[in-house]
Chains A and B, each alone.
Chain A
Amino acid sequence: MADGAHGEAARWGIEYQQRVGAFFDAEDFAPIRVVHVSTDRETMGDTGVAFIRELVDMAPEQRRPRAFAVADFRGFDEETFKFLLPGRDLAAQSEEAVAALAQLGVSTSHAYVNDHSVTAPAFGEACGYSGTPSVIYMNGLVGARCNFEAGPSSLAAFFTGRVPRYGFHLDDSRRATHAYRLGFNPNNVAEWGAVGAIIGRKLNSYWSVPALEIPDKSAAVLSLNHMALNLASYGSIAMFHVIGVTPEARDWTDAFGGPAPTPEVLTQADVDEFLDSWGGTGEKLDVVALSTPQLTITELVEIAALLDGNRVHSDTALLVYAPREIKAAAERIGVAQQIEAAGGRMVHGHDFFATFAKEIRESHNWDRLMTHSVKVANICAGYGYRPRPASIEQCVKSAIAGKVLP
């Protein structure tokens, strides 16, 4: 492959992967079947799109794929983004990237890759996923094997059909390094996200693997997903175990590959302190962004019920993000219409934080933001917002009141 016999794209890909693999002392490569390409337009930039076009411009025999690749959250909600960013034609910019990826043979979809509607690796299978929430989900909940294979890295894997074998492809790296016990049942996904953020901040290393014991082993996948994506967001963590729940942690000994340390206990007070630390109670509220991960149909039903008989305050924007098919499903049962009749905006396409959120803030002179996603709070703090994470219920009631409610 390195000599170009398998095409120029594979030559580029394997040379690139060898540099990254050498950096992490990988001894060889793991073959893969599926790749997830993260392609939000803001992250890629014009130079990223130009790079993909360079690959497209190669003769087809020079860029033959060697894995199945999917990019989720195709495109933008044109109508909403005309409101959010009137000075930027996001629909056209997004289409450039989508068209170029499609020409390469990357399947672009409107799904959320963690819902498994597009691809699903098997237990123990090596894969090349890009988005951090997807990587930690596949490692921790599915038991597939993956490192963060960010944008260009997943494209390299697409052309070579393999990834460098280091990190979470190796048994030893997957074993737990730190033990925690939840001393309470989180009440909502924001509190689950806070648990992930607290542990992520404590560990702050890609190579740390937390194991967690929870009181209710029937916790929903959505709850664990919120915890996981905040482990990744706040600590760059890519692997975790939940004792008696996730597939490589039948018990503490299984998770650690031997005796486990005494777990550190996390309490409701820890989570309350984390959420309260963002402040803002009683302040004017400019925008509520409910995204990341994009909402499920049951969450949309909850929002519609909270809005029933009420109206979003005229000084506050309520943005409700869902994959296009979920938005359509909500329309079929009248829930989307209820949300929009109450003054909310249903949005499909890329997430709020991934669509030039800094420009959106400047365009609307927004300051205070609420979200049920602790990850959105983390990112948007860097974009000049003053975020406040809270439950969906607290977010929607605050949107109605036009101020941050306790």
Chain B
Amino acid sequence: MTEEKNGLVLRGHVGIGPGVRGVALSAADDFSARYDLDRDRGVVSRPQHKLYGENYIGKILVLNAAKGGVASAWMLRDMVLAGKAPLALLLNNANPVMAQGAAFADLPFIDRFETDITQAIRTGDVVYVDPTNGCVRIEQKV
């Protein structure tokens, strides 16, 4: 984690997809497109989830770990094509399904950060996601 001219930079592993800028939606909870989302409405639908009821469309979704089964690999692209996807996904720990889904959807995705990404980025922060260089810049803190 380093302070640079345009904001705090968090480093992870080299990721997938193009660079994007957006507003974060963050929680110390896990992620599966099948287990947690109402994909028609674009909201988190699992009552136990810390983002329950939150709309994630167009947000930089920041969560802890990928969970569950294979469904997310097909679903992420379906969500992107329907215009009902997050703008990017940042996780502490991915599994292959999430990486395969992001690659299929060309959804910006980074994991394995040097710090707990769910604590470093708060909901409402404006961040720039740079998968090619495996880093995220927090440009504006709430």
Set A20, A38, A358, A381: member contacting B38, Cβ < 8 A: A358
Please determine whether A150 and B101 come into contact, CB atoms closer than 8 angstroms.
yes
Segment 78-97 of B: residues with Cβ below 8 Å from A: 78, 81-82, 93-97
Please determine whether A236 and B66 come into contact, CB atoms closer than 8 angstroms.
yes
Set B46, B66, B74, B96: member contacting A45, Cβ < 8 A: B74
Give chain A nearest CB distance to B14 CB in angstroms.
Answer: 7
Q: Mark A26-61, 1 if CB is under 8 A from B, else 0.
A: 000000000000101001111110010000000000
Inter-chain CA distance A22–B64, complex, in Å, is: 21
Segment 87-129 of B: residues with Cβ below 8 Å from A: 93-97, 99-101, 103-104
Please determine whether B74 and A149 come into contact, CB atoms closer than 8 angstroms.
no
Segment 1-40 of B: residues with Cβ below 8 Å from A: 13-16, 30, 34-38
Please determine whether B96 and A381 come into contact, CB atoms closer than 8 angstroms.
no
Please determine whether B103 and A132 come into contact, CB atoms closer than 8 angstroms.
no
Segment 184-209 of A: residues with Cβ below 8 Å from B: 204-207
Inter-chain CA distance A148–B64, complex, in Å, is: 19
Inter-chain CA distance A19–B17, complex, in Å, is: 10
- Chain A interfacial residues counted at CB < 8 A: 44
Please determine whether A235 and B67 come into contact, CB atoms closer than 8 angstroms.
yes
> Contacts of A24 on B, CB cut-off 8 Å?
96, 99
> Contacts of A204 on B, CB cut-off 8 Å?
30, 64-65, 67
Q: Mark B39-82, 1 if CB is under 8 A from A, else 0.
A: 00000011110000000000000001111111111110110011
Please determine whether A379 and B97 come into contact, CB atoms closer than 8 angstroms.
no
- Asked if A383 meets B30 with Cβ closer than 8 Å, knowing A45-B75, A358-B38, the reply is no
> Contacts of A16 on B, CB cut-off 8 Å?
103-104
Secondary structure dominating the interface of A? helix
Please determine whether A148 and B70 come into contact, CB atoms closer than 8 angstroms.
yes
> Contacts of A379 on B, CB cut-off 8 Å?
34-35, 68
> Contacts of A309 on B, CB cut-off 8 Å?
none
Please determine whether A148 and B103 come into contact, CB atoms closer than 8 angstroms.
no
- Asked if A167 meets B96 with Cβ closer than 8 Å, knowing A43-B74, A382-B36, the reply is yes
Please determine whether B69 and A382 come into contact, CB atoms closer than 8 angstroms.
no
Inter-chain CA distance A19–B37, complex, in Å, is: 26
> Contacts of A235 on B, CB cut-off 8 Å?
67
- Asked if A153 meets B67 with Cβ closer than 8 Å, knowing A148-B95, A382-B45, the reply is no
Please determine whether A23 and B70 come into contact, CB atoms closer than 8 angstroms.
no
Inter-chain CA distance A23–B37, complex, in Å, is: 25
> Contacts of A121 on B, CB cut-off 8 Å?
none
Please determine whether A23 and B97 come into contact, CB atoms closer than 8 angstroms.
no
- Asked if A381 meets B48 with Cβ closer than 8 Å, knowing A19-B16, A148-B70, A236-B95, the reply is yes
Please determine whether B67 and A148 come into contact, CB atoms closer than 8 angstroms.
no
> Contacts of A167 on B, CB cut-off 8 Å?
96
- Asked if A206 meets B70 with Cβ closer than 8 Å, knowing A22-B14, A47-B78, the reply is no
Q: Is A334 an interface residue (CB 8 A)?
A: no
Q: Is A391 an interface residue (CB 8 A)?
A: no
> Contacts of A94 on B, CB cut-off 8 Å?
none
In the complex, besides A148-B70, A378-B68, 18 extra interface pairs with C-beta distance below 8 angstroms are A20-B100, A23-B16, A43-B70, A45-B75, A48-B74, A51-B77, A130-B70, A150-B96, A151-B73, A152-B74, A204-B64, A205-B93, A206-B95, A206-B96, A232-B69, A233-B68, A382-B34, A384-B45
What would be 24 A-B contacts, judged by CB atoms less than 8 Å apart? A23-B14, A23-B16, A43-B71, A43-B75, A44-B74, A47-B77, A132-B97, A147-B96, A148-B95, A148-B96, A148-B97, A148-B100, A150-B71, A150-B96, A151-B73, A151-B74, A152-B73, A153-B73, A206-B96, A236-B66, A379-B34, A382-B36, A382-B37, A382-B46
A residues within 8 Å of B by Cβ? 16, 19-20, 22-24, 38, 40, 43-48, 51, 130-133, 147-153, 167, 204-207, 232-236, 238, 358, 378-379, 381-384
